[in-house]
Structure 1
């Protein structure tokens, strides 16, 4: 299975209070969330399918902050953007935020690096998706 960096585009259909395990509860606005992660373990991008299963209610175990969002009934994974073979998780996440298309949800999704967050919020999908694709393309170019 290929390995690399991925970003999940997640729609949250309604405002929701989501408990993120030890990170605590957050009030999240309805809209679009981009979560950037890396898949360099033995399963590679199989991790993305695990996230999809959780979002569909086929799995209960929550291992990462994004799993708490995906486990909420008002959320769904709408799109996944990947960069195979490149460990550019932090670069992609920063690229999404610096475009002002999205804002960080502080303290989530970045517990193993110096970033403030790898979970970003935007009220609308179109611009967020464009920025995510551009950030992944820039990450691939940096390899």
Structure 2
């Protein structure tokens, strides 16, 4: 299955992380939503890979999010099954109600961010936004898929 996904992460303390070529970022304690595409050949297996990076089973750092995952708790993943390229419109919609982390996760598009911060759990808001945007009911997983 292919589509777009949103990872909901929680950072339990403020953390400074070097994110590949982007350099150092200071991440506040709180919740983050990362919007990604799973339209490639592996589809939603990419989300499983993210869980493996977060748990330490996979140490490879391929994407910006891979640098943040080992410092985070993955609260849940929202999977939006689609063959359409809606990653950027999903990121813009999520950015309407939380703060974008400039240049994070969007090196292959013109968006200003694909990672967003909120001081409170944004799981329900993200799910509602994605459902309204796409008309597709998101598949919501716990912290494993």
Instruction: For 2:88 and 2:134, locate their aligned partners in 1 and report how far apart those are by CA, in whole Å.
Output: 13
Instruction: For 1:135 and 1:107, locate their aligned partners in 2 and report how far apart those are by CA, in whole Å.
Output: 22
Q: Which of structure 1's runs of 4+ aligned residues deviate more than 3 A? A: none
What are the ranges of 5 or more consecutive residues in structure 1 without an aligned counterpart? none
| Displacement of 1:96 | 1.0
Instruction: For 2:133 and 2:62, locate their aligned partners in 1 and report how far apart those are by CA, in whole Å.
Output: 25
Alignment match, 2:109: 113
Pairing 1:89–2:87 present:
yes
**Matched ranges for 1:1-143 at <5 A:** 2-72=1-71, 75-85=72-82, 86-98=84-96, 100=97, 102-125=98-121, 128-141=122-135
SS at match of 2:123: helix
| Displacement of 1:42 | 1.1
| Displacement of 1:140 | 2.1
Q: TM-score, normalised by structure 1?
A: 0.90
Instruction: For 1:122 and 1:7, locate their aligned partners in 2 and report how far apart those are by CA, in whole Å.
Output: 14
Instruction: For 2:22 and 2:4, locate their aligned partners in 1 and report how far apart those are by CA, in whole Å.
Output: 23
Pairwise CA RMSD: 1.2
Q: TM-score, normalised by structure 2?
A: 0.89
8 A Cα contact 1:83 1:139, kept in partner: no
